[in-house]
Amino acid sequence: MSASWSEGEVSDLGYTARLCHQLSPTHIQFVAALSGITAPVPESPFHYCELGCGNGSILLLMAANFPHGRFVGIEDNPVQVARARELAQRAGLNNVVFLDNALTELDDVAAEPFDFIVLHGLWTRVGEAERAAVIGFLRRALRVGGISFVSYNAYPGKAAMAHAVRVLRELTPTGAQGGQRARIGRMLLQHLQDNPTGPDTAIPGFADAVKSILALNDGRIAHEYINAPWSAVYFTEVAASLNEAKLGFLNTTILPLMFNDSVIPAAYREVFLSLPEPGQRQLLRDLLMNTSHRRDLFIKGATPILPLDMAALRETVYVARAPLVESFAAECVLPIGSVNLPAGAEKLFARVREHTLSLAEILSGTQDEPSTTFAALRWLLLSDQVAPFRSPEASQAAAGITRLNRLALDMAVSIGEGSWLATPATGGGIQLSVLETLLAAGTVATDANGAVGFVTERLGELGRGIQLETGQIIEPNDVPVFLNKELPAFIMIKMPELRRLGALPAGHA
């Protein structure tokens, strides 16, 4: 078992989920389809595993979104496992299980092969023995044709941070508790910040890395950088490890980076194309973009999509306006620089603004040549204005989703945090701010008229005010005044979006 959860003063520090919609089978299949590779179909039964699932939020919302899928979460922190299990049980989700196994204890997990095995924020937070265990598990438990998602701290972009972390890990007393080491490390980093000499001038980005560490409290510094392993790796190292489990690189899941021509400047195209190996090309991309974090898909046995299967696939792959995008932007900034989108992009954006369309519908509903329409779609994806969606039928809030989202809101209100909500329309979820969480909880529990009264009463019961990034609202009389001021914009803009995404039932106040 890793020491990360149990040491000293940070042992009860729950890992705050950063929702990653790219873990959704819908997103994964979409990336594979655009890369010309066959992937497990998210609307048929599938088996999905997350290693290092933290508090389980991603698995919970996916279990609600995909009742026909079966989900397994592996996590060695029993506090996180207990919370995840309780929420699953209270939401009535019986298609997800959470196991309190360490990565080095995976031998007894599921004989049945998985279609997806995902690791988000894990690979560069564990040691060599755990990585070897993950490779063994991928070798044994991912089916042929199955896909693995791996996210990790990457070089060269994390180089300056790696130097700063080394100060924390190697210039503080290794026998001491994490909190004490964080305090000593903070003093050292503070000294380096106040007296900029060697590393600051010699290592680009070092000062920024130090500043970002000093912005955290000691508990957080210990949790992030001292108690558990922290590292950064080159793409080629990850690819070589996964190759031992017979997995090959498929593509990045970050849509704006999916196509090489939006990443490689003209001056580098020739040298880029001269590199024979996909891994070499990814390495050059990372050097050109100074990549600091990657989210990659690897597949066990890539099968190209056959032309005769293409028509059926176009019927089942859907897109719509990306979540939270309100209007069309004609210009987008990509690694190669600022680009003006072609006229067709605005026309296509208008079509998917309020409607989810399959690729087949997109092609058949226009007089334009398919190549023009696909080019427009590509630009909308690259600029994050259009995203993969599920079919309109699959996008409706089912009973399991309504139950889970209510519980998530209630839990977040009780601890004064922002909530996540499952969004069946994308097969993923959405993160709300503290204020949005309060207003959503109030609207769901009553209606738009009763929302402010409900939230005020609930906060009164909890003896709490509203903790915003800009400060606190504590006075009992100030709470309803503030909420009433914010409610109209929430009802006009956010609620319709939450309904479109299926987070709240259609027609809800």
Ligand X SMILES: C[S@@+](CC[C@H](N)C(=O)[O-])C[C@H]1O[C@@H](n2cnc3c(N)ncnc32)[C@H](O)[C@@H]1O
Question: Which residues are near ligand X by CB under 6 A?
Answer: 2, 4-5, 15, 17, 52-54, 58, 74-77, 80, 102-103, 120-122, 125-126, 130
Nearer to ligand X, 102 or 176 (CB): 102
Nearer to ligand X, 372 or 431 (CB): 431
Nearer to ligand X, 151 or 356 (CB): 151
Residue 102 to residues 73, 106, 319, Cα–Cα distance (Å): 11, 7, 38
Q: List, in order, residues 6 or more apart from 70 with CB less than 8 Å away.
A: 45, 46, 47, 48, 95, 96
Q: How many residues does the chain have?
A: 509
Give the shortest CB-345-to-ligand X separation in angstroms: 32
Of the candidates 369, 368, 438, 444, the residue with the CA atom closest to the CA atom of residue 405 = 444
Following DSSP, what letter does each residue of 82-124 receive, concatenated?
HHHHHHHHHTT--SEEEE---GGG-TTS-SSPEEEEEESS-GG
Give the shortest CB-278-to-ligand X separation in angstroms: 26
Of the candidates 261, 302, 264, the residue with the CA atom closest to the CA atom of residue 283 = 264
Tokens representing residue 38 in the block: 């066959």
Nearer to ligand X, 7 or 497 (CB): 7
Give the shortest CB-459-to-ligand X separation in angstroms: 27
Nearer to ligand X, 122 or 284 (CB): 122
Q: How many other CB atoms sit within 10 Å of the CB of residue 110?
A: 17
Give the shortest CB-104-to-ligand X separation in angstroms: 6
Residue 20 to residues 61, 74, 133, 143, 293, Cα–Cα distance (Å): 11, 17, 24, 23, 13
d(CA 361, CA 398): 25
Nearer to ligand X, 104 or 260 (CB): 104
Nearer to ligand X, 102 or 339 (CB): 102
Residue 474 to residues 331, 383, 385, 467, 481, Cα–Cα distance (Å): 42, 40, 38, 8, 12
Give the shortest CB-419-to-ligand X separation in angstroms: 14
Tokens representing residue 185 in the block: 């490390």
d(CA 233, CA 335): 21
Using the Cα atoms of residue 410, residue 414, residue 419 and residue 420 in order, give the sign of their dihedral. Answer: negative
Give the shortest CB-20-to-ligand X separation in angstroms: 6
Nearer to ligand X, 58 or 239 (CB): 58
Give the shortest CB-457-to-ligand X separation in angstroms: 32
Nearer to ligand X, 70 or 120 (CB): 120
Q: How many other CB atoms sit within 10 Å of the CB of residue 295?
A: 18
Give the shortest CB-55-to-ligand X separation in angstroms: 7
Give the shortest CB-10-to-ligand X separation in angstroms: 12
Nearer to ligand X, 165 or 332 (CB): 165
SS3 content of the chain, % helix, strand, coil (to 5): 50, 15, 35
Give the shortest CB-367-to-ligand X separation in angstroms: 44
Tokens representing residue 119 in the block: 């690791």
